Amino acid sequence: MTRYLTQRVLLAIGVVAGVVVLTFLIARIVPGDPAVAWSGPHAPASEIAQVRRQLGLDRPVWVQIGKYFEGVFTGNWGTSIHTHRPVLSDLRKAVPASLELVIAALLIAVAIGVPLGLLSAAKRDRPVDQAVRVGSILGVSMPLFWMALIFQMVFFQKLHVLPVTGEYDPNVAFAHPLRTYTGMPVIDALITGNWPMLESSLSHLIMPAVVVAAYPAGVIARMVRASVLDTLGETHVQMVRALGFSERSVFARFAMKLAWSPVATVIALVFAYSLVNTFLVESIFDWPGLGNYAAASIASLDTPAITGVTLFIAIVYVVANLAVDVTQVLLDPRIKLQ
């Protein structure tokens, strides 16, 4: 077991390293000069040259990559060209906002997807099942940026029910200053008992979270349905039925334990996917997360920032995959044998 795990971890590290190299290579194709982007287009050549030396851009590519890796492990992820701040501190500010969004979205997706998937499996091929199946396909076919705009129009414009931009109302924040612990307003407000801020940040969170939840909800519902039906078709379930247990017992006591494993897998994978999906939604909701940061970095050819964002998401993705592997082994004893 430990050998399997160390193997997976080493592989993960290798993959992340590969990703970094890839990003570097991508950024090298950039038909622009980051040093110019840093200093501004009207800076004199000497200043640009100086900046270039400062940023280490005059070294050969493989040296740059080497120094970058060195930096990654020592906490120096480079300096962002468009914010002029260390990339790591930029990330530290931007990541909690995106995390809050993704976690909220996943909670909503699980709350919607799991019950619907179970219902769909229980009433197989009946109208309810068909409806849920269409619904989940709808979820994964939704252009998120469009859905965000439509939601804004309906809930903000027409119904005046929900606020439209930002993580919270700045007026409320002024009146009831929020102590920052995790960087996620909802959680910070909760643990400090700051109820006005809790209300404000929750009401700002709902719309973007629901939009981001569309895709994972669809995927989860589908996966739950498939997993339950698969498990129900297996011989050991027939055996328990043949022993005279009620369908409900068969379902809840015997089948469900095995059905969860693939679902857990999917949830972990969808987490990283949703993190990237927030890119599309953050600019519309003025959400100060990774997406906004990444968009700004791309616009200004900010290589260290782009690499930093890519690296972070690759790490999340790889960790999620690893977590999936471990949970699978724990949940389904049959996999141990492989």
Does 305 help bind other proteins (rule: CB under 8 A)? no
Does 338 help bind other proteins (rule: CB under 8 A)? no
Scanning 44-52, 85-93, 109-117, 328-336 for contacts with other proteins by CB under 8 A, the matching segment is 328-336
Cα pseudo-dihedral 226, 227, 228, 234, rounded to 10: 110
Does 82 help bind other proteins (rule: CB under 8 A)? no
Distances (CA, A) of 220 to 106, 272, 320: 10, 14, 16
> Contacts with other proteins in 278-297 (CB under 8 A)?
279-280, 284, 294-295
Token pair recorded at residue 33: 């000069």
Terminal-residue alpha carbon distance, the chain: 11
Which residue number, 157 or 171, has a Cβ lying nearer to other proteins?
157
Least spacing, CB of residue 52 vs other proteins, in Å: 19
Question: 182 phi and psi, to 5 degrees?
Answer: -100, -15
Token pair recorded at residue 128: 């309810």
Q: Are 12 and 322 in contact (CB under 8 A)?
A: yes
Return the bridge partners of 86, or none: 79
Considering Cα of 276, then 280, then 286, then 292, what sign does the dihedral take?
positive
* Spatial distance between the Cα atoms of 258 and 226, rounded to a whole number of angstroms: 12
**Contacts with 260 (C-beta within 8 Å, 6 or more apart), sequence order:** 227, 331
Least spacing, CB of residue 50 vs other proteins, in Å: 25
Scanning 76-84, 89-97, 127-135, 173-181 for contacts with other proteins by CB under 8 A, the matching segment is 127-135
Q: Figure out which of the listed residues 5, 9, 10, 22 binds other proteins, where binding follows CB under 8 A.
A: 22
> Contacts with other proteins in 24-43 (CB under 8 A)?
26-27, 29-31
Which residue number, 199 or 332, has a Cβ lying nearer to other proteins?
332
Residues that bind other proteins (CB under 8 A): 11, 14-16, 18-19, 22-23, 26-27, 29-31, 130, 133-134, 137-138, 140-147, 149-150, 152-153, 157, 234-247, 254, 257-258, 272-273, 275-277, 279-280, 284, 294-295, 298, 306, 310, 313-314, 317-318, 332-334, 337
